[in-house]
Each structure stands twice: as C-alpha cells, then as structure tokens.
Structure 1
Amino acid sequence: MHLLSLQKTLPATSYASLTDALPMLRAVKDAAELELLAAAGAAADATFEEIRKVPFGGRRESEVAADLAGLLRRFGHSQVDFTIVASGPNGANPHHEIGERVIERGDMVVLDFGGLKDGYGSDTSRTVHVGEPTDEERRVHDLVREAQEAGFRAVRPGVACQEVDRAARKVIADAGYGEYFIHRTGHGIGVTTHEPPYMIEGEQQPLVPGMCFSVEPGVYLPGRFGVRIEDIVTVTEDGGRRLNDTTRDLVIVD
C-alpha cells in the first residue's frame, strides 16, 4: 500500500528489494570497518599463539574449546560464536561440534574459532598435531597450506568469487584428494561471522575492493583425520590482504 502510493506520487522514482540490495551493501567495507576486522583478526591470532601452549593430550575437546573461548574474551571479544576442536577422526567432519572425546597423542586436531570484537567478526582455522605427525599427515597439511595460498593469490578486483574456490580446489584435486574437499572455500564476514559473498562454484559475483571473506580449503579423510587452514582476506586495489596472519605451519602441541 505504501509503495503504490509512493510510485503514484513520485512516478520518476524506482525501487529495489532490500533483500537483494543489502548483501552487497554489507559486503564492501570502508576503511574504518577494515580496521575493526583487522583488530578482530589480530585478536584471533593472539588466541592461537596462546592456545598452542596449553596441554592437548589427555584432555577432552570441550576443555580445549573452553580455553579457546576464554582466550578470545581475554583478547577483546565480547561474543564467542564457535570454538570447534575436532581431534583425530572427528577432524574428518568439517562441521564437528564440541565433543567429549579425549584427545590422544598422535591426533591431528582442527581448531576453528571466532566471534565478535567491537561489533566485527573473526574466524580462524588452524590444524595442530599432538606429538610428531606421520609423513602422510605432514603431506596433507602441506597440501592444504598450498591450496590456501593458491586461493589467496587468486584474489583481485573483477575476478568472480568462484575463481577463488577453483584455485584452491585445483591444488587439492591435482594431488588426488579432490573428493575429500567437501565444502565451499569461503564466506563473507563483517558484523556477523557468516555473510555474502561466498567463494563457491557458480558464484559469479565479481570481487570488489573492500570485500572481506574467508579462504579455508580443507581435506577430510573419513575415520582418520582432517586438515583446514583459514584466513580472513580483504580485496585491495591490486590483489588481496590477509586480516589475520599467524603461522600456517603445522604446529606440534603436547
């Protein structure tokens, strides 16, 4: 009723659905928003640097997850949205929730954690190993790190979102693990930890400077282990910039 009245009164005006317009308005961040996202990313980096010092072996996933939540808050997060600790075979489920499995020596452990700091989101994944990894575990981790770097290098203005997904996925597929990369490469982040744009096959939205999103390839071997490495990336005028940048090497924990 209101729209028809506006159209009658102002016939030269045009209207768009907010449902369609809002995602792109949110997707492109200004300089102040980028600073807040970078600060959230730095807090997540600090969280990882501290969590790698705590004991893992012999403790439940839920206990390490509680440590993660406490560290995020210590470093300035007002809201913790998720603290995934996926050990051993649980790491093969990319959406594993906090569990009571006791982490064992020899486990690969996927950590995925984030929340809101000063109203803007963080989202980081790193994979650690309890004790010395096997040659295969190192090889898979190196492969995922290479895929994450390939996805990051694909970021530049004008490139379709799906090209970031394709770049990361090609590295994993070429190594023979393509069937074990079972989720999209990334999602947008801002005032919520998941929002447009999405780095997934079929998404032809061009990248625009100021967009922020995750690049998070993974390999998930059923019944055995998983590996995921995730950074938040923003599009610049000539490429991409990571908003969190703690080590992507395989970290050995106790």
Structure 2
Amino acid sequence: MDVIPAEILRIHSHLTKEIAEMSPTGDGILFKTEEYAGRLAKLKSEMERREMDTLLISEPSNICYLTGYEAYSFYVFQIMIVHRDVSEPIWIGRSMDAVSVRRMTYLSDDSIRPYTDDYVQSSEKDPVDFVVAELKEICPTLKAIGVETGSFYYTARIHNRLLESLPANRFLDAELLINWMRIRKSAAEVAILREAGQISNAIIADAVEAVQAGIRECDLTSVIYRRMIAGTPEYGGVYPSSAPYVLTGSRTGEPHAPWSDRTIDHDTPVNIETSGCRRRYHAPISRTVYLGSPPESYLRLADAVTEGIEAALEAVRPGVTCGEVAQIWGKTIARHGFHKDSRIGYSIGIGFPPTWGERTASLRESDRTMLEPGMAFHMMPGLWLDDIGIVLTQSFVVNEFGREDLTTFPRQLVIK
C-alpha cells in the first residue's frame, strides 16, 4: 500500500479548511477568525488579571466559543490548553477527531495534539499523562494553572491526577471564567440565535398541529425530533443539548420527566419544551396545548402565567437587573394567588449536553446581574402544581431598546 506523502496531506488539509471557511451552509468555520481572536485576547487579559499563566478548558461550550469546534467528541477525555504566551489554543483529544478540528477551526496543525486510541477508556494508559507531557513541552511557564472545577466534564479523577503529576504547580479555580465572557453575544452570534429561533418556531408549530387525543406521547415526540433535525428550508437543525419534554395530564406537574408511550387523553393539558439548535446555539421554547375544554381553574392559571410573563418581558431593558425582572413576575402572579420558588429563566447561547443554559445569570429575585445588550435568556416561568402544570416561555436577546424575541409563536395557552 502506497504511503501518502506528508506534503500532500498538508496541502489537502489546507485546501479543506479553505473550502470549509467559504461554505455558506452549516459547515466549516462559523465566524471570522478576527472574532475568535478577539475572544482569545479577552480571555488572556482576564488570565493576566488573575495571575494565571495557563488554563485547562474541559467544557465543550467554551472550547466551541474559542475555536468553533463542535464535534461530538466530549464523551472521551478532551482538553484545550490556553497559555498567555502561546498564540493559539492547543486542542488535545482523541486522534480520530483531529480531522474535525482541522475542518471546523482556525487552529494550525501544531496546535492540534491528538493522543492515540490506546488511551481511550484504558486501564493502562491515562490521557492526563499525555496532557501533562504536552503542558511541559508547550508552555513557556507553568506556575498557576486554571481549571474548570464545576464543569460536567472535569472529573475528580482528572483533577487528582493533575495534582499528583504537577505537585509543584499552583492550581486555581477558573470555574465559569469563559462562561461569563460568553454572556454578551456578538452581532454574529445573535444572527445564529435568530436562525435557531426560526427552527424552534417550526418545531412548536408542527407539535401543536400534530397533538390530538389518541396519539401517544412518543409519537408526538417523534414529530418534534423530525422538525428539530430537518429545521427550515433555509436552516438545517442539529441535536440540542437536552431531549424534548412531552408531559401530559397529571404529569404536567413534572418539569423534567421523560415522555412515555401512553396515549394522550381528551380534556387534558400537554406540556411541550424543546429547542431549535443551529451550530450549537439554542433558542428554547415551551407551550401548553389543552385538548378539549379547560376548566375555569385551569384558565385562571393560564391567565396568571400569561399576564406574568408579559409583565416580566416588558421590564427587560439594559440597566435592569435579573432580580428586578423576576420580582415583577412574582408580584404579578401573586395577585392571582400563585407563587413560584424556582427561577424564571437563565442565560442561553452555545450548548452541549446536558444543558443549553450557560450556568451564569439567572432570572431570579436574588440575582443582581445587570442586563446588557447582547445577553440572551430563556424566560421560563412555568408553574408546576403537583398534578397539573403549564409552560409558556420566551427566548430573547437584550438590545439597546429593550429586547428582541428569538421566537414568534404566540405566547398563550393553545386550546385545541
């Protein structure tokens, strides 16, 4: 078998990246290199302020934010290294995924450092050892190392192994460092969020049309999945960070239970929560459909939620805090005799399983985060009352004048 010369492979890799960058579809590098450069410069400035020379990034959303990399490779060990004095981030991951890094990102070949497959889920070789060796080779200094201690993907085992391997180094908590950078979206990011919102509109419209007495919950969910992936004629969709929630009847009092194969009855509410996803950006949406004639008590519940979300949305504008928005919701539904303990929303943007939330600002009374243009939220003021519930939500971006809604499906109880 002939061996392909290294120079031909290098040229092929370069041409593949050029083609990907020119692609107008959902392929290739998402944003201009200048945008990624600005994000990296801002990160390095914050690292300097914290006296941190090295940062180990494990959260896929943050890796995507810095480079555009969005492949499903995070189920095995994956780390990105950022050093203050190294020009590019360094991706470390499974060897078979390196080709995706080359296609999706601006990273040069020297910044892509894959480990061999015998490290994968091995009892004999630890990929943390590979990372430690790379750190010693790549980093001009290695004094203070930041790690994302709260990331779903940074385990206690990884941390302990790093401490054992680098006992002379200082480790700093960099939890949510990049997440808080991500909270203010650029114009290019908002454009992608709008595309995700159009997919969300199409999903909920299909679900509302399909739901009827006699259909199984799983069959309704399949309608949601089809549109979720097909997207719109303009924008194809991909898998979101969370499975959709389809809950009916007495189970509408449960916010996060899975759908089942039970048949949906007449004279019952159906709660649907889902999201369109475009290049890992999400615009979640939830609606309740009532099949039949709702009792007066349920209509009062729907009226309270509708009035509450409209009042809270009306308060959204730069300079207002997340807590002040939540307080308006709480006071509004209190006039109807209802109370909600949990938050009514959270920051959104890039998302990988298990969540499309950014894990930063929340729309809750105790949160003093001030709204700024470019922040995106899913306002999710659902009410779950033991054996009954209703969901009515709105994803939006804060702008200079107030907000821009990312979805346009009517904010009201659907009676069918």
For normalisation by structure 2, the TM-score amounts to 0.55
Shift of 1:63: 1.8
Assess if the C-alpha contact under 8 Å between 2:206 and 2:223 holds in 1.
no
Alpha-carbon distance in 2 for matches of 1:143, 1:245: 20
Alpha-carbon distance in 2 for matches of 1:61, 1:20: 37
Aligned partner of 2:393 in structure 1 is 230
1:30 is aligned with what amino acid? Answer: S
1:93 aligned to 2:254? yes
Aligned partner of 1:73 in structure 2 is 229
Aligned partner of 2:408 in structure 1 is 245
1:2 is aligned with what amino acid? Answer: L
Shift of 1:115: 4.7
Aligned partner of 1:188 in structure 2 is 347
1:198 is aligned with what amino acid? Answer: S
* Segment drifting more, 244-253 vs 121-130: 244-253
Assess if the C-alpha contact under 8 Å between 2:221 and 2:244 holds in 1.
yes
Identity %: 29
Shift of 1:117: 1.4
Shift of 1:205: 1.2
Alignment of 1:1-254 (within 5 A): 2-3=142-143, 18-75=174-231, 76-80=236-240, 81-178=242-339, 181-192=340-351, 193-195=356-358, 196-223=360-387, 225-253=388-416
Runs of 4+ in structure 1 deviating by more than 3 angstroms, as ranges, are none
Shift of 1:83: 1.1
Alpha-carbon distance in 2 for matches of 1:53, 1:115: 17
Assess if the C-alpha contact under 8 Å between 2:287 and 2:392 holds in 1.
yes
Alpha-carbon distance in 2 for matches of 1:94, 1:126: 12
Task: Give CA deviations for 1:180-211 in whole Å, capped at 9, x if unaligned.
Answer: x2421001111111112211122111111100
Task: Give CA deviations for 1:80-119 in whole Å, capped at 9, x if unaligned.
Answer: 3321111111111122222233211011111101152122
Note closer, same or farther for the CA distance 1:61–1:4 as it changes in structure 2 (3 Å cut). Answer: closer
Note closer, same or farther for the CA distance 1:233–1:93 as it changes in structure 2 (3 Å cut). Answer: same
1:77 is aligned with what amino acid? Answer: G
2:309 is aligned with what amino acid? Answer: Q
Alpha-carbon distance in 2 for matches of 1:20, 1:3: 21
Shift of 1:150: 1.4
Q: Secondary structure at the match of 1:191?
A: strand
Assess if the C-alpha contact under 8 Å between 1:106 and 1:131 holds in 2.
yes
Note closer, same or farther for the CA distance 1:55–1:238 as it changes in structure 2 (3 Å cut). Answer: closer
Shift of 1:17: 5.9
Task: Give CA deviations for 1:128-173 in whole Å, capped at 9, x if unaligned.
Answer: 1112222222221121111111121121112111112111122112
* Segment drifting more, 30-39 vs 137-146: 137-146
* Segment drifting more, 94-103 vs 184-193: 94-103
Alpha-carbon distance in 2 for matches of 1:4, 1:92: 47
Alpha-carbon distance in 2 for matches of 1:17, 1:158: 29
What is the total number of aligned residue pairs between the two structures?
A: 240
Shift of 1:18: 4.0
2:321 is aligned with what amino acid? Answer: A
Alpha-carbon distance in 1 for matches of 2:329, 2:374: 21
For normalisation by structure 1, the TM-score amounts to 0.88
Assess if the C-alpha contact under 8 Å between 1:82 and 1:115 holds in 2.
no
